[in-house]
Amino acid sequence: MKLMRLISFRLLVGLFLLLLGLSIILSKVFGFDIDTGKVWDFWPAIPLLLGLNWMVLAFRASEGEARRFYFSWGQFLTGLVAAAIGVVYLGKRFWPEYFDFDFTIFWSTLGALLLIFAGINLMRGRTAERGAGKIAFMGGFNIGGSGPWKLESGSYLAFMGAIELDLTTADISPGETVLDLTAIMGGIDVTIPPGLAVSYGGSTILGGVSYKEQEDGGIIASRTVEEHLEGADRVVRIQARAIMGGIDIKEKLRSV
Q: How many C-alpha atoms does 162 have within 13 Å on its Cβ side? A: 17
- What pLDDT, on a 0 to 100 scale, did the predictor assign at position 11? 66
3-state secondary structure of 154: strand
The pLDDT of residue 179: 92
Q: Judge if pTM exceeds 0.85.
A: no
Q: Are 183 and 208 in contact (CB under 8 A)?
A: no
Higher pLDDT, 61 or 37: 37
- pLDDT at residue 255 above 60? no
Res. 219: pLDDT tops 50: yes
**Residue 61 burial (10 A CB sphere; 0-12, 13-18, 19+):** exposed
Q: Is the pLDDT of residue 203 over 80?
A: yes
pLDDT at residue 10 in the model: 56
| Confidence at residue 220, expressed as pLDDT on a 0 to 100 scale | 62
pLDDT exceeds 70 at position 240: yes
Kindly tell me if the per-residue pLDDT of 78 is higher than 60: yes
